[in-house]
Structure 1
Amino acid sequence: MSGRLSSGPSRQVHDEILRPQFDFDMTHLLPHYLAVEVVLLLEYERMGVITGDQRRDIADRLCRIDESTLSADPATNMSDTSMAIEQWVHGQLVEPVPAWHVDRSRNDSQATAHALAAREWLGGAAEDLLGLGEAVHRLANGTTDLLMPGYTHLQAAQVITPGFYLAALSQQILHNLRRWLATYDGNDLSPLGAGSMAGQQLPWDRHRMAHLLGFAGPVPHALTAVASRSLALEMMAEFSILGAELSRFVTDLMTWGSNEYAFIDLPDELSGISAAMPQKKNFPILERIRGKLAHLGAFGVDIVLAQRSTPYSNMVEVSKEATANLHVSVATTRTALRLFSTVVDNLRFRSDRMREACRREYLGAFALANDLTLNDGIPWRDSQIVVGQYIAAAISADIPPHPGDPGLLVEVAGRHGYQVSDAARVLADAFDIEKAIRGKRSTGSVNPQALADLLASQADEFRLLRQRWDDRRARRGSARALLGRR
């Protein structure tokens, strides 16, 4: 193929390296390789390297190529996608076009095909993440009036609502969507026209080629264009981060679905059974989601280690091996997101169980300590001690949080030299679970109005981000449609 070697690749190299890569390219990258070829043809014609008739003749052959057209042949095309396209078209032409592929390198062409695919994959994953975020936001809006315990260090801490908790998840997803958009836009650049590594001899219009492919512009530096795989690296890093974050929320759902909590339920079609213990209703879908999210961290480490310490140049190790799990990472991310969306759409919170858990726990202890300091002048640290000793004594005496025992509170405070002016009131206020959420006044809190304001703001941002992702999808679609008419 180049005259430098006397034979094609060995059977082992073909079977274990080149053929699997070729098959992957045919399944996932072929349309992008062909789009690159069409743009190269348009530039050849613009520069006067080939005629309009020659360009149309080659383009007609390119349009006939699909997965069944090309084959990996070590003898004729080195089992390489770009060479297979070139050889097949040459064989179909009535008149040869000697200047076709002059001043052209596989390095920037392959990098461009990979960038086109990765950009498409990231856009698809973003669509699924938007879907999950919007599902979570809907459920949050519908559960702002249900009371449940909030936990710190796995211990019941304060009264919250499912809507408040889910608003945290939708806020996290919005953050991820913004990061993904920055990753997309920061890498929305075309390597095409960079050549092997140092640029090209012909006056290629790299800006025109980038825009024809739907990119915002060309990669400014020729070496960066062929040496970097920053989009793949950043995508897998973002997926890894997302997997770690979402797994924590899934863990909470798994906990709340256990018999000891029974805060949530899922329909039978999303549940599982035990083959030996017929009393059980399991939620293996949550385990599957968390397990799939764990893979994302492994994929993120994989691409980092595969690129680490490689020379900064075009390397098969970086372009092919390091990115070998990119498509798997995308597919795993999208599966986990769609499954999580289905769970959220079908999730039911059991208000009776959650309310009972709030009633039996001393979730107003923080508010009680605040009240003793602000209204009875007990120093803050001492009020913490008084409240802690009161609760310990109340638990020992089997006294419920509400209405509590005013006499016991007065007695405990008196041991420390303090008086409580209205013990019955402060206990009733502190451990009234309905008042617990209304008593918060800061923005971003569980207070119903603060939560409503936050959810309204999130709704606006979801609409804005969906529009931005839609705009980028439309730009890709317009570029494909335009090339299809050339």
Structure 2
Amino acid sequence: MTNSSAPQQATLSGRISSGPSQLLHEEILEPQFSYELHHFLPWYLLVEKVMTLEYERLGLVSAEARREIGTLLAQINTETITADPQANMSDIAFAIERFVETRMTEEAPAWHMDRSRNDFQACAQIMFGRDQLLQVIDELFHFSHALHQLAQKTVDLPMPGYTHYQSAQVISPGFYLAAVNEQVLKTISRLSSIYDDINRCPLGSGAMAGLELAWDQKRMSDLLGFHEPVRHALIGVANREWSLRIAGELSTFSVNLSRVVTDLIAWGSTEYGLIDLPDQLAGISSAMPQKKNFPILERIRGRIAHISAYYMDFAMGQRNTAYTNLVETSKEAGSNVLTMFKTMRSALKLFTAVIENLTFKEERMRAICEREYFGGFTLANMLALHGGVPYRKAQVLSGRYIMAAIENGLKPTTVDLNLLQTAAGDMGLDVSLTEEQLRQAFDTDYNLQVKKSVGATSPERMRELLAVQETETQQLQQMIEERKVAVQHAFDLVEELLK
């Protein structure tokens, strides 16, 4: 029988004669222990339980010992194990092992044989990473829903569109938001593919060269919610690509997201005045009482800027390291992984709140659309299609008409067919366009509705796209839910088998 109280001094190695120094404990080991205790412990315990079931299947641990080990593992939490330089070398894997061993009624000599911390840690890290990834995907679904809802409400609302920061064409908020939602859904789809690709179990890789017992790695993989084992032992412990894959995709998405925030910041400025947010999402100036600021948008843009930095952090942490298991790649290079996930989730929560509360100033947007000559593109098309003017000449004629109208102080809504005919005559052209067609070319609502190619501004086209997006969202949600259910089912089965 083993003493039920943990020893003051544990012999864990015959190679070195003492535990770690106080310096190593304080600066490296205890902080790492604390981090893993609060974020990796559930995954470590699941791995321990599955390996215990395998020891029993191999005939190395009795059913009675397996039940006792399972009971003791269930007692481990953030309060029951601590980093101790003498008792467990301030290492969480040793702490779990010592907690069980020192409390067993009878020794189980084969328990913990033929295994390594390397694949143990790699497995827990991927389980942690995939769980965090699913949480980010959940926030992306919330964000997508908010975008979709607002887009549906605003596809008929004319809005000025800009290219090169100049007035360009009439669009709608729904048109713009549907584009953003398209990016979100593509990101969810790619992250789902990354989830499937990284969801391979490294357990059984050992230190680097594999293990010696006849472990059923497929069974262990299934019980831990993976879809298959890693096919090569070295990859199982050397590869930390999963963090790069996730960070790379989130970095790309954050770049696109920052551009959207930049548009909102501009649209919320005094000069544009296209959008508004409720007071509870706004800020004030400490010196200028007339101001209503939107610092939440600046916070979002500033926050997501870190995502690309985290990707570079992970890449630099792994770059030029040996392709094997190293604490440099497994721990130091991943020290900001959780921060990246938290930052992304926070930014998405904030942005979702913005979209849910965002209002577009309809009168202001229509006034700009009717003030600027947004119909130049449509007029050129009409001149070529109905007026018999070669298209490049139609472009020139359209531009000359607009310049003449501006010089004569005409608004786009006040058309002058004589000006068009005079400009055409100066170019040696005979134009058969009617005044009604000219008026239509610069009509705000017509400009929104006339563009009917796939993905164009036509409200009808946008509603078609939004319907497709809704179907895709449902399919993606079902796919993600199936993965969550599969993982939870595996975990429930582990607990059932341990009884």
Question: Where on the TM-score scale, by shorter chain, does this alignment land: which range?
Answer: over 0.9
Deviation at 1:90, TM superposition (A): 1.4
Name 2:4's counterpart in structure 1.
Answer: none
**SS in structure 2 opposite 1:422?**
coil
1:48 is aligned to 2:59: yes
Deviations 1:397-455 (A, max 9, x none): 22111132221111111111112223523320110111112211211111121111111
Name 1:360's counterpart in structure 2.
Answer: 371
Name 1:340's counterpart in structure 2.
Answer: 351
Letter in 1 for 2:355: V
Deviation at 1:387, TM superposition (A): 1.4
Name 2:224's counterpart in structure 1.
Answer: 213
Letter in 2 for 1:478: H
- Compare 127-136 and 389-398 and name the one that shifted more: 389-398
Between the aligned partners of 1:396 and 1:225, the Cα distance in structure 2 is 72
Deviations 1:98-131 (A, max 9, x none): 1110001001010010011001000010000011
Name 1:286's counterpart in structure 2.
Answer: 297
Maintained 8 Å contact 1:34/1:62 = yes
Could you tell me which runs of 5 or more consecutive residues in structure 2 were left unpaired when the two chains were aligned.
Answer: 1-11
Maintained 8 Å contact 2:142/2:352 = yes
Residue among 20, 39, 56 paired with 1:9? 20
Deviation at 1:73, TM superposition (A): 1.1
Between the aligned partners of 1:422 and 1:144, the Cα distance in structure 2 is 30
Between the aligned partners of 2:66 and 2:473, the Cα distance in structure 1 is 45
Name 1:178's counterpart in structure 2.
Answer: 189
1:124 is aligned to 2:135: yes
- Compare 386-395 and 280-289 and name the one that shifted more: 386-395
**SS in structure 1 opposite 2:490?**
helix
Name 2:151's counterpart in structure 1.
Answer: 140
Letter in 2 for 1:203: A
RMSD: 1.1
**SS in structure 2 opposite 1:421?**
coil
Between the aligned partners of 2:29 and 2:407, the Cα distance in structure 1 is 73
Maintained 8 Å contact 1:409/1:423 = no
Q: How many residues align?
A: 486
Deviation at 1:342, TM superposition (A): 0.7
Could you tell me which runs of 5 or more consecutive residues in structure 1 were left unpaired when the two chains were aligned.
Answer: none
Between the aligned partners of 1:17 and 1:413, the Cα distance in structure 2 is 79
1:21 is aligned to 2:32: yes
Between the aligned partners of 2:424 and 2:25, the Cα distance in structure 1 is 83
State TM-score, norm by structure 2: 0.96
Between the aligned partners of 2:120 and 2:42, the Cα distance in structure 1 is 13
Between the aligned partners of 2:493 and 2:183, the Cα distance in structure 1 is 37
Deviations 1:171-211 (A, max 9, x none): 11110011000000011111111111111100000000010
Residue among 81, 96, 104 paired with 1:93? 104
Residue among 373, 379, 388 paired with 2:390? 379
**SS in structure 1 opposite 2:168?**
strand
Maintained 8 Å contact 1:236/1:296 = yes
Between the aligned partners of 2:249 and 2:227, the Cα distance in structure 1 is 21
Name 1:75's counterpart in structure 2.
Answer: 86
Deviation at 1:395, TM superposition (A): 2.0
Deviations 1:118-149 (A, max 9, x none): 01000010000011011101110111111101
Maintained 8 Å contact 1:190/1:217 = yes
**SS in structure 1 opposite 2:102?**
helix
Maintained 8 Å contact 1:190/1:210 = yes
Between the aligned partners of 2:288 and 2:452, the Cα distance in structure 1 is 48
Maintained 8 Å contact 1:369/1:383 = yes
Residue among 387, 391, 401 paired with 2:402? 391
**SS in structure 2 opposite 1:5?**
coil
Name 1:435's counterpart in structure 2.
Answer: 446
Letter in 1 for 2:271: E
Identity of aligned residues (%): 48
1:417 is aligned to 2:428: yes
Deviations 1:46-85 (A, max 9, x none): 0011111111111111110000111111122111110111
1:104 is aligned to 2:123: no
1:223 is aligned to 2:234: yes
Between the aligned partners of 2:393 and 2:85, the Cα distance in structure 1 is 82
**SS in structure 2 opposite 1:376?**
coil
1:303 is aligned to 2:314: yes
Deviation at 1:13, TM superposition (A): 1.5
State TM-score, norm by structure 1: 0.98
**SS in structure 2 opposite 1:156?**
strand
**SS in structure 1 opposite 2:98?**
helix
